[in-house]
Amino acid sequence: ALLGPEAKEGELNVLQVEAMGLKGLIKTPIALLERGKTEQIILDLSFPDPPVTFTLVKGSGPVHIVGHNLL
């Protein structure tokens, strides 16, 4: 996940994922990004079943997510 250059200085951006787990729906934060401190983070995530939803739950972003789909 990468914080865009338009992000506000000092604003915390929290990225959350929502996906199905063994016991039902799971919502959890996966990245905390702040301009000038932590502007990018490597995520090593795997989701066996769709759907998966990423949401910016705090901050105004933008946050870019790069990944690939393995079949």
pLDDT tens-digit map of 21-58: 888 999 999 999 999 999 999 999 998 888 999 999 99
Checking if the pLDDT of 71 tops 80, the result is no
Fold of 2-64: Jelly Rolls (2.60.120)
**What's the whole-model pTM score?**
0.89
Please give, one letter per residue, the 3-state secondary structure of the chain.
Answer: CEECCCCCECCEEEEEEEEEECCEEEEEEEEEEEECCECECCCCCCCCCCCEEEEEEECCCCEECCCCCCC
What ranges do the domains of the chain cover?
2-64
